[in-house]
Amino acid sequence: MGLLDDKVVLVHGGSQGVGAGIVRAAVREGATVAFTGRRAEVGEKLAADTGTLFVRADLSDPAQARDSVQQVVATLGRVDCLVNAAGLTSRGTLLDTTPELFDAHIAINLRAPFFAMQATVQHLVDRKAPGTIVNIITSSEHGGQPFLAPYVAAKAGLAGLTRNAAHAHRWDRIRINGLNIGWTDTEGEDATQRAFHGAGDDWREKAAAAQPMGKLGQVDEIADFVVFLLSDRSGVVTGSVIDWDQIVFGGLD
């Protein structure tokens, strides 16, 4: 028996990185899985490899964020679980962030999850069915580095939205939780380190050596935790924004 047997799971931003790891883990645990992405060739390959449904969508458009939920319902019959894993991590400080960069972060990191949740929760309420949602947030929502100003602003909003929606829909038996992931080893992070921080081929080794556990966060470990939160094995927990990191926030040396 898998943790997600007989569940239909939709992963927004599931074509690469943490999202793709969640797609694979959900399939392994028995779910019927759909996911969104912008790049057709990448999404179609993952769908073929995993036996999942790929829905091409640009989540910066709130209509596409909503409509992707309806497309999955039309094709697979329902949605039981939603994961908001899409994220924009381009850099900007308080002083150099343009309105365009700020709006891009809000569009992907806050507005898209809002309207995906809106469509999913409405679907569950109409069905009078329980469901679960997990939002991939970031440990940086506690404050973060100066060069993450628009990212932190949007993700802190998503943390607040997670709690608000969980409270609003607890009597509908819709559980909504968030995961504040830390520094994670993904292809997207590799591109970010090279583009914004001049990192060389050995950046992963250097970064891992500087971490308490001797490694960066791993996609498969995060995916396993997300699957647990989506599943009935996580019990009644809702409205929790969990720090999944090796930094102890509030701890001082």
Give the residues across from 82 on adjacent strands: 10, 133
Query: Is residue 151 annotated as part of the catalytic site, yes or no?
Result: yes
Q: In what order do the strands lie in the sheet with 131-136?
A: 53-56, 32-37, 8-12, 81-84, 131-136, 174-181, 241-244
Catalytic residue (one of 151, 183, 225, 244) = 151
Give kind and range of the element (H or E) at residue 11.
Answer: strand 8-12
Q: Among 170, 164, 162, which residue's Cα sits nearest to residue 125? A: 170
**By three-state DSSP, how is residue 26 classified?**
helix
Q: Which residues pair with 37 in a beta bridge?
A: 56
Residue type present at position 48: A
Query: How wide is the angle at C-alpha 44 spanned by C-alphas 42 and 47, nearest 5°?
Result: 110
Active site residues: 151
